[in-house]
Amino acid sequence: MGRQQYVWIMEHAHKHTIRDLYPRHEESELTEIEQTLSQYLRLILRIFERLESERYPQAGPLTKNHGTLGCTPPREDSLA
């Protein structure tokens, strides 16, 4: 699949939300679900970063201080 085709699919894809998955839940429950999922994803990312830092000690963290993924792809010569 080419980049243009991928971009088109992502632009036209339906963005599912927690509310789509759990339409009968109260707003307070949905908020709690979102917070729990966010905490879980941050934990998984931290575990991944820890494992990667042990595997590749010269590599820096993927996340900035505010918890977002970096968007600069690695250089090809660093993948060898």
In a domain, 4, yes or no: yes
- Which structure tokens are listed for 30? 């949905």
In a domain, 22, yes or no: yes
In a domain, 62, yes or no: no
Structural domains in the chain (count): 1
In a domain, 46, yes or no: yes
In a domain, 61, yes or no: no
Residue 80 has a pLDDT of 43
Residue 41 to residue 33: CA distance in whole angstroms: 12
In a domain, 72, yes or no: no
What range defines the domain where residue 15 resides? 1-56
**Tokens 């590599």 belong to residue:** 59
Spell out the per-residue pLDDT of the chain, length 80, in tens.
677 776 777 777 777 788 888 999 999 999 999 999 999 999 999 999 888 888 877 756 655 554 555 555 555 555 44
Residue 20 has a pLDDT of 87
Residue 5 to residue 12: CA distance in whole angstroms: 11
In a domain, 42, yes or no: yes
Residue 44 has a pLDDT of 93
Reported pTM = 0.51
